[in-house]
Amino acid sequence: MTATEAAISLRGVTKEFGTGDTKTVALADITLDLPYGELVLLVGPSGCGKTTLISVVAGLLDATRGEVDVLGQNLTRMGNGRKVRFRGDNIGFVFQQYNLLPALTAAENACVPLLISGWSRTKAVARAAELLTAVGLGARLNSYPNQLSGGQQQRVAIARALVHHPRLLVCDEPTAALDASSGRTVMGLIREVAVQPDRAVVVVTHDSRVYDFGDRIVSMGDGRVEKVETRSHAVSA
């Protein structure tokens, strides 16, 4: 990897669903480079292709045409088995729904990805505790999801997404279910904990209340990138 290499590089990426009369062009010839070390917001009206774009970037969907390079790997030519491993090793996900397991504590929920990759329970819980402390939940390690507020549950989901040191964090509407104040806390924590020089962070959002947390705002419309704005004064809390 060179210092100037983009974390995410898309060349002429098109994604179509269906064929003939039912064909939908969700992404129309997108060319876009996104760097390491920034929080990128992907914004635009409902149905413009945001979720499709991050799904292609995360290797969850295959592009119909075009080249997709993520973290120096070409996903276009990667087989399915390797793609699953690539995702497991390199990508953390945060969704609008926190998707926590109700019978597990915050620490147990946050360490699930490590247990899946074969870590011992003791080491995994210790690493999860570090991350939960970083997101301000050091005192709630043994709380169950139903004992936590929505914002706190989302913080557990962020700890879980980062617990295996992924180099790409993808968040789809992480603040949509939160009130304004919790939404800002969550975005501040994503900035503080996830943005690193060797890591890329992409957040899909409708939530204009959190636009000032982005270093770069990519505006989409009708399957295309309409505008890319960079900001030097993104807030950090």
Contacting positions for ligand ATP (CB under 6 A)? 17-18, 24, 26, 44, 46-52
Q: Rg of the chain's alpha carbons, rounded to an integer?
A: 18
Beta sheet of 65-70, edge-to-edge order: 24-34, 8-17, 65-70, 73-74
> Which residue lies nearer to ligand ATP by CB, 60 or 115?
60
> Which residue lies nearer to ligand ATP by CB, 54 or 135?
54
> Which residue lies nearer to ligand ATP by CB, 156 or 220?
220
> Which residue lies nearer to ligand ATP by CB, 47 or 88?
47
Q: To the nearest whole angstrom, how small is the minimum distance from the Cβ of residue 173 to ligand ATP?
A: 7
Q: To the nearest whole angstrom, how small is the minimum distance from the Cβ of residue 57 to ligand ATP?
A: 12
Q: To the nearest whole angstrom, how small is the minimum distance from the Cβ of residue 89 to ligand ATP?
A: 25
Q: To the nearest whole angstrom, how small is the minimum distance from the Cβ of residue 148 to ligand ATP?
A: 26
> Which residue lies nearer to ligand ATP by CB, 48 or 159?
48
Q: To the nearest whole angstrom, how small is the minimum distance from the Cβ of residue 55 to ligand ATP?
A: 7
